[in-house]
C-alpha cells in the first residue's frame, strides 16, 4: 500500500463518532426483548452469557477498527487480500440475510399498537422515506450521524428515566449479580426448545450478523485514522460531485515514532468509544429493559406466560400492558414508543450499512463497477433492497420464505464466527508488525470464533435445531 | 451582566434536563389521578433536572468541565440525578422509597450514569450551535466556542490533509 501521513487523533476524548452506528444497530431486539425474556425464564444468573457476548463484541469492535484505521480499507477488502472467496462469502451472506424486511415488523407493530395505523403501511412508508432521504443527502454519513445521535440520545435518556421510575435496587442487584454467575445453565435451558434460543440471544448480544463489519465502512467515512484519505459516499442526487475513490487503501510509516504516537492517540479514541459508548449504552439499555420486565411480571404474573410463548409481538404488548398497570397508560405507550424507536434506528442503520458494504465490495471487485462510482453503486443497492422489501411486505413472507428461515439464522450466526477468523488472519498477516494485535487480543478473538461456531454447531448436532 | 452571560450558557443543558424530567413526570400520570397531581409530578422532576442541567452548562463555561469528556459528567450526575429523584419522591411520591432512602439513592446513582451518557450526548449536539448564536454578545460563550473551535480546527486539519493528499 502507498504510504501517507496519519492524521492527528482528536485532541480530547470526544463523545461523538461512528460508534453511534454500531450502537444504533446493536441495541435492538436482543437487548429489549430476547435477554429480558431469558431472565424471566431462567433467572438473572443467565446474564453471564450476555456479559461475555457484549464484552466479546467490544473487543471485536476494537479489532475491526485496527485494520480500518490503519489502512482506510474496509474489512471486506482485508478479507479479499487474504483470500478472495472469503469476501464473496460475506457478499452472498449479506444478500441472503439482510434483503428480507422482517426487521421492520417489530418496530412497526409497536407503532400500530400506539396509533392504530396498520404496520404494513408504516413499514412501506418508512422504506420509501429512508430511500428518499438517503438519495437527497449530500453526504450520507453526516446526515445519518446527526439523525441517529438525536434518536439514540432520546432513547438513552428516556430509558434511564423510565428505569429510574419503575425499577428498584433489588431488581438491579439481581440483574447485575447474575452477570457474574459464570457457567450457570439450568437443565431446562439445555433442551431442544431453549438452547437454540440461548444461542440466538448470544448472537444478538450487541451487534449481530455482519454489523461489526459494516462499522469499518462508517469509520472510513467519518475520516478516522487513514480513512481521512478516502472520499465519502454521497447521495444519488449529488453523486456527480463525488471525488474519485482510490482502488486501494493507504498505510502510514510505522517506523516513524511521531506517526506511532498519533496511532496510539487513535487507539485511545476508539477504545473510549468501545468501552463507554458501545459497552456502556448496550449494558444500560439491557439492564433497564430487564428491570422493566421484572417489575412488569411482579405487577402481572400473566406476563410470564405471554413471554414464554414464541410470539414476539404478543410478548411485547403484554410487557407494555403490565408496565401500564404498574404506572400509567402513558408508561405503556412510552415502552412501545421505545420499541418503535429501536426499530427505526435499526432500519435506518441496516439499509445504509447493507448498501455501503455491498457497494464497497462491488466497486473494488466486480469488473466494470468502478465506472459507476461508489455513490451510484450505493444508490443501486439501496433502492434494490427497498423495492424488494416493499414487494415482499405486500406480497410475501417478511422474514423470508419459511423453508429457508433456519438457513438464514444459521448464516447470520456463522458469519459472526467467520468474521472472528477473518479478523485474526487480516490483522496478523496484512498489518505491519508494530501495529498488529497483542497476543491476548488474538486469544479473545479466537475464543469468539469458538464461542459462536461452537454454540451454533453444538445446537445443530445435539438438538438438530439451528438458532431460535 | 456576568450573571446573564452565565445563564445563557445554561440554556441547552437546562432544556435537555427539563424535557427529560417532564417526560418522566408524565409517566406518573396515575390512572384516574387529577391533572394537577400529574403536573406536580412532572414539575417535581423537570425543575431539578433542568436546574442541574443548566448548572452543568455554566460550569462548562467557567472551565470546570471540559467539553465532551465523560468521567466528570458521570460523577456530576451520580450526585445530581438521585437528588432530583428524591425531591420528586418527596413532593409527589410514586412509591420509590419503599426499600428505604439509601437503597433508593444507590439505585438512582447507578441509573444516573446512563442518564449522564444520554445528557452529554445531546448536550454536545446542541451546545456548539447555541454558542455560535450567542458568541457575538457574550464573552463567556465566545471563550467556550473557542474551545470547541480548537477541536474543530484539528478536524479541519485532517480534512485539508485529505485535500492536499489528493492533489
Question: Does position A268 have pLDDT exceeding 60, yes or no?
Answer: yes
Q: Using the beta-carbon criterion (under 8 Å), do B122 and A150 form an inter-chain contact?
A: yes
- The 10 Å CB-count burial string (b at 16+, else e) for A164-176 is bbbbbbebbebbb
Secondary structure (3-state) at B167: coil
Is A240 an 8 Å CB contact of chain B? Answer: no
What is the structure's pLDDT at B166? Answer: 42
A residues 126..155 contacting B (CB < 8 A): 146, 149-150, 152-155
Q: Which of B100, B107, B166 to mutate to test the interface with A (most CBs of A within 10 A)?
A: B107
Is A9 within a domain?
Answer: no
Q: Using the beta-carbon criterion (under 8 Å), do A280 and B113 form an inter-chain contact?
A: yes
Nearest beta carbon to residue A14 from set B20, B68, B118:
B68
Domain count of the fold of chain A: 1
Is A259 within a domain?
Answer: yes
Element (H, E) at B150: helix B139-166
Please give, rounded to a whole number of angstroms, the shortest distance from the CA of B133 to a CA of chain A.
19
The CATH number that applies at residue A265 is 1.20.1740
Q: Which of B16, B21, B114 to mutate to test the interface with A (most CBs of A within 10 A)?
A: B114
> How confident is the model over A318-376, as pLDDT tens digits?
767 666 655 556 667 767 777 777 777 777 778 888 998 999 899 988 888 888 888 88
The pTM (predicted TM-score) of the whole model is 0.82
Cβ contacts of B31 on chain A, cutoff 8 Å = 328-329
Average pLDDT over chain A reads 80
Question: Does position A422 have pLDDT exceeding 70, yes or no?
Answer: yes
Which of A223-227, A413-417, B144-148 is most confident? A413-417
> How confident is the model over A280-318, as pLDDT tens digits?
878 877 887 777 777 777 777 777 777 766 666 677 777
Cβ contacts of A162 on chain B, cutoff 8 Å = 24, 27
**A-B contacts (CB, under 8 Å):** 154
Is A61 within a domain?
Answer: yes
What is the structure's pLDDT at A63? Answer: 94
Cβ contacts of B122 on chain A, cutoff 8 Å = 149-150, 153-154, 157
Please give, rounded to a whole number of angstroms, the shortest distance from the CA of B64 to a CA of chain A.
15
Q: Using the beta-carbon criterion (under 8 Å), do B114 and A156 form an inter-chain contact?
A: yes
A residues 99..118 contacting B (CB < 8 A): none
Confidence band for A16, pLDDT divided at 50, 70 and 90:
low
- Which has more confidence, A29 or A97? A97
Nearest beta carbon to residue B151 from set A12, A169, A288:
A12
Is A281 an 8 Å CB contact of chain B? Answer: yes
Return the closest-CA partner of residue A56 out of A454, A457, A456, A444: A444
Per the listing, cell 448564536 goes with B133
Is B153 an 8 Å CB contact of chain A? Answer: no
Is B127 an 8 Å CB contact of chain A? Answer: no
Confidence band for A387, pLDDT divided at 50, 70 and 90:
very high
In chain B, domain spans? 2-166
What is the structure's pLDDT at A184? Answer: 86
What is the structure's pLDDT at B32? Answer: 46
What is the structure's pLDDT at A11? Answer: 54
Nearest beta carbon to residue B27 from set A4, A162, A243:
A162
What is the structure's pLDDT at A420? Answer: 95
What is the structure's pLDDT at B30? Answer: 43
For range B67-80, the mean pLDDT:
85
A residues 158..197 contacting B (CB < 8 A): 158-165, 167-170, 172
Taking a C-beta distance cutoff of 8 angstroms, is the pair A57, A206 a contact?
yes
For range A141-166, the mean pLDDT:
76
B residues 37..56 contacting A (CB < 8 A): none
Q: B99 — phi, psi (to 5°)?
A: -90, 5
Return the closest-CA partner of residue A21 out of A353, A337, A341, A385: A353
For range A43-72, the mean pLDDT:
90
Is A1 within a domain?
Answer: no
Q: Which residue of chain A has the CA closest to B98?
A: A168
Question: Does position A434 have pLDDT exceeding 80, yes or no?
Answer: yes
Q: Using the beta-carbon criterion (under 8 Å), do B165 and A5 form an inter-chain contact?
A: yes
Is A97 within a domain?
Answer: yes
Cβ contacts of B99 on chain A, cutoff 8 Å = 168-170
Taking a C-beta distance cutoff of 8 angstroms, is the pair A312, A106 a contact?
yes
What is the structure's pLDDT at B76? Answer: 94
Question: Does position A179 have pLDDT exceeding 80, yes or no?
Answer: yes
Nearest beta carbon to residue B30 from set A150, A163, A328:
A328
Give the number of other CB atoms < 10 A from CB of residue A431: 18
Query: In this prediction, does ipTM exceed 0.85?
Result: no
What is the structure's pLDDT at A62? Answer: 92
Secondary structure (3-state) at B24: helix
Is A327 an 8 Å CB contact of chain B? Answer: yes
For range A398-421, the mean pLDDT:
75
Domain of residue A151 covers: 19-463
Amino acid at each position: 500500500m502507498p504510504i501517507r501521513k496519519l492524521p492527528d487523533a482528536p485532541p480530547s476524548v470526544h463523545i461523538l463518532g461512528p460508534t453511534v452506528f454500531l450502537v444504533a444497530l446493536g441495541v435492538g431486539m436482543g437487548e429489549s426483548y430476547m435477554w429480558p425474556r431469558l431472565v424471566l425464564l431462567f433467572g438473572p444468573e443467565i446474564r453471564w452469557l450476555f456479559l461475555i457476548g457484549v464484552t466479546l463484541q467490544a473487543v471485536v469492535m476494537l479489532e475491526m477498527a485496527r485494520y480500518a484505521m490503519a489502512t482506510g480499507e474496509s474489512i471486506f477488502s482485508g478479507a479479499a487480500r487474504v483470500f478472495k472467496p472469503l469476501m464473496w462469502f460475506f457478499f452472498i451472506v449479506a444478500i441472503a440475510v439482510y434483503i428480507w424486511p422482517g426487521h421492520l415488523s417489530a418496530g412497526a407493530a409497536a407503532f400500530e399498537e400506539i396509533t392504530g395505523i396498520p404496520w404494513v403501511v408504516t413499514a412501506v412508508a418508512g422504506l420509501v422515506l429512508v430511500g428518499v432521504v438517503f438519495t437527497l443527502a449530500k453526504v450520507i454519513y453526516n446526515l445519518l450521524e446527526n439523525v441517529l445521535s438525536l434518536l439514540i440520545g432520546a432513547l438513552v435518556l428516556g430509558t434511564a428515566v423510565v428505569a429510574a421510575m419503575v425499577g428498584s435496587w433489588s431488581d438491579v442487584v439481581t440483574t447485575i449479580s447474575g452477570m457474574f454467575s459464570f457457567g450457570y445453565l439450568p437443565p431446562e435451558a439445555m433442551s431442544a426448545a431453549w438452547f437454540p434460543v440461548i444461542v440466538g440471544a448470544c448472537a444478538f448480544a450487541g451487534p449481530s450478523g455482519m454489523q461489526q463489519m459494516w462499522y469499518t465502512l462508517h469509520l472510513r467515512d467519518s475520516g478516522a485514522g487513514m480513512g481521512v484519505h478516502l472520499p465519502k459516499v454521497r447521495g444519488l442526487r449529488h453523486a456527480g460531485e463525488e471525488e474519485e475513490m482510490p482502488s486501494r487503501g493507504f498505510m502510514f510509516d510505522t517506523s516513524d515514532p511521531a506517526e506511532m504516537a498519533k496511532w496510539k492517540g487513535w487507539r485511545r479514541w476508539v477504545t473510549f468509544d468501545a468501552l463507554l459508548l458501545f459497552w456502556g449504552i448496550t449494558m444500560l439499555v439491557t439492564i433497564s429493559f430487564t428491570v422493566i420486565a421484572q417489575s412488569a411480571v411482579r405487577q402481572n404474573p400473566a406476563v410470564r406466560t405471554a413471554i414464554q410463548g414464541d410470539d414476539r409481538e404478543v410478548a411485547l404488548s403484554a410487557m407494555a400492558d403490565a408496565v401500564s398497570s404498574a404506572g400509567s397508560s402513558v408508561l405503556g405507550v412510552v415502552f412501545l414508543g421505545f420499541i418503535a424507536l429501536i426499530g427505526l434506528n435499526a432500519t435506518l442503520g441496516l439499509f445504509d450499512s447493507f448498501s455501503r458494504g455491498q457497494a464497497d465490495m462491488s466497486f473494488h471487485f466486480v469488473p466494470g463497477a468502478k465506472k459507476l462510482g461508489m455513490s451510484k453503486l450505493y444508490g443501486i443497492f439501496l433502492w434494490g433492497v427497498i423495492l424488494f422489501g416493499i414487494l415482499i411486505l405486500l406480497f410475501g413472507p417478511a422474514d423470508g420464505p419459511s423453508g429457508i428461515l433456519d438457513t438464514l439464522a444459521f448464516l447470520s450466526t456463522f458469519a459472526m464466527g467467520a468474521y472472528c477468523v477473518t479478523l485474526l488472519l487480516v490483522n496478523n498477516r496484512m498489518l505491519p508488525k508494530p501495529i498488529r494485535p497483542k497476543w491476548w487480543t488474538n486469544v479473545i478473538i479466537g475464543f469468539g470464533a469458538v464461542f459462536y461456531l461452537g454454540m451454533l454447531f453444538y445446537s445443530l448436532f445435539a438438538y438438530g435445531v439451528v438458532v431460535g | 451582566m456576568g450573571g446573564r452571560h452565565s445563564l445563557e450558557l445554561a440554556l441547552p443543558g437546562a432544556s435537555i434536563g427539563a424535557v427529560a424530567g417532564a417526560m418522566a413526570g408524565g409517566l406518573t400520570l396515575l390512572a384516574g389521578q387529577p391533572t394537577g397531581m400529574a403536573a406536580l409530578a412532572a414539575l417535581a422532576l423537570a425543575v431539578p433536572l433542568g436546574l442541574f442541567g443548566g448548572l452543568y452548562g455554566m460550569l462548562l463555561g467557567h472551565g470546570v468541565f471540559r467539553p465532551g469528556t465523560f468521567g466528570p459528567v458521570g460523577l456530576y450526575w451520580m450526585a445530581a440525578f438521585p437528588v432530583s429523584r428524591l425531591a420528586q419522591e418527596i413532593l409527589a411520591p410514586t412509591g420509590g422509597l419503599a426499600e428505604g432512602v439509601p437503597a433508593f439513592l444507590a439505585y438512582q446513582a447507578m441509573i444516573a450514569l446512563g442518564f449522564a451518557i444520554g445528557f452529554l450526548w445531546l448536550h454536545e449536539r446542541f451546545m456548539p450551535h447555541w454558542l455560535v448564536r450567542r458568541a457575538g454578545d457574550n464573552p463567556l460563550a465566545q471563550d467556550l466556542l473557542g474551545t470547541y473551535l480548537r477541536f474543530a480546527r484539528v478536524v479541519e486539519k485532517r480534512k485539508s490533509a485529505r485535500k492536499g493528499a489528493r492533489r
